[in-house]
Amino acid sequence: MIPINDILLFGLASLIMVLSPGPNMLYLISRSLSQGKKAGIISLFGVICGFLFHILMVSFGLTAIFFAVPYAFITVKFLGIAYLLYLAYTTVRSKNKIFDADKNLKTDKPLKLFNIGLLTNILNPKMAIFYLSFFPQFIKPEYGSILSQSLQLGVIQIIISFIINLLIVLSAAKMAVWFSKKPIWLRIQKWFMASILTGLALKMALTKVK
């Protein structure tokens, strides 16, 4: 089992990540504004299934790699450091596009809404790369099965993502208006997220792999 301190830190990092404006958030806001909350919720279930797909792929992939190559765990950790620092840099440099949400999307049926949400997430290669670099710093062979640890982290990340994105869907209009009036909070959020990512990268670098 992963220690509770690591789980809490992972939960905090997952919360920061889901609060960062990205393709999923923009799509959910766009769909909620154009077609209503029900459409936003259906789209959200598609997005969550996309998360599940990536988590399962990464979980089984990490398990296979770590068993096949003894030093793969160390290699993935250091690749993760580089990627987390890259994420921190791009977070600071990125432009806020939350106001570019398309309010004029055509009306689609529930199945199509679900499929678009699913594909929006599955076809985003950055998600797989993120999980592959993010999970290893919280996973240690001495804690037990690599697969069970990966799935445990995945469940936590999905629960946090679902709750936050559901709140976003339910308050999409108010959220867009609030941020438009107080854009400074988006800048604060970017720097805060970049700090968290840098801290996680440093934690990974200082962690001794037994």
Residue 168 backbone phi and psi in degrees, to 5: -65, -45
Structure confidence at residue 125 as a pLDDT band (50, 70, 90): low
Give this prediction's pTM.
Answer: 0.73
Range among 37-41, 178-182, 202-206 with highest mean pLDDT value: 37-41
Mean pLDDT is lowest, of 50-59, 90-99, 144-153, for 90-99
Cβ-count burial of 156 within 10 angstroms (0-12 exposed, 13-18 middle, 19+ buried)? middle
Distance CA 201, CA 197 (A): 6
pLDDT in tens, 132-174: 777 777 888 788 888 888 889 999 999 999 999 999 898 887 7
Note the pLDDT tens digit of each residue in 95-119. 655 555 555 667 788 899 999 889 8
48 pLDDT higher than 90: yes
* Runs of H (alpha helix) within 94-145: 110-122, 125-134
Q: Determine what percent of the chain falls in helix, strand and coil, rounding each to the nearest 5.
A: 80, 0, 20
pLDDT at 189 over 80: no
Question: Is the pLDDT at 88 greater than 70, yes or no?
Answer: yes
Rg of the chain's alpha carbons, rounded to an integer? 18
- The winner for highest mean pLDDT among 8-12, 81-85, 133-137, 201-205 is 8-12
Sorted by where each begins, the domain ranges of the chain are: 4-204
pLDDT surpasses 70 at 198: yes
pLDDT for 139 equals 81
Query: Which whole number is the average pLDDT over 172-186?
Result: 69
% of the chain at pLDDT higher than 70? 72
Beta-carbon count within 10 A of 102 CB:
12
Q: What is the mean pLDDT of residues 202-209?
A: 66
Q: Specify the range with the lowest mean pLDDT, choosing from 28-37, 39-48, 134-143.
A: 134-143
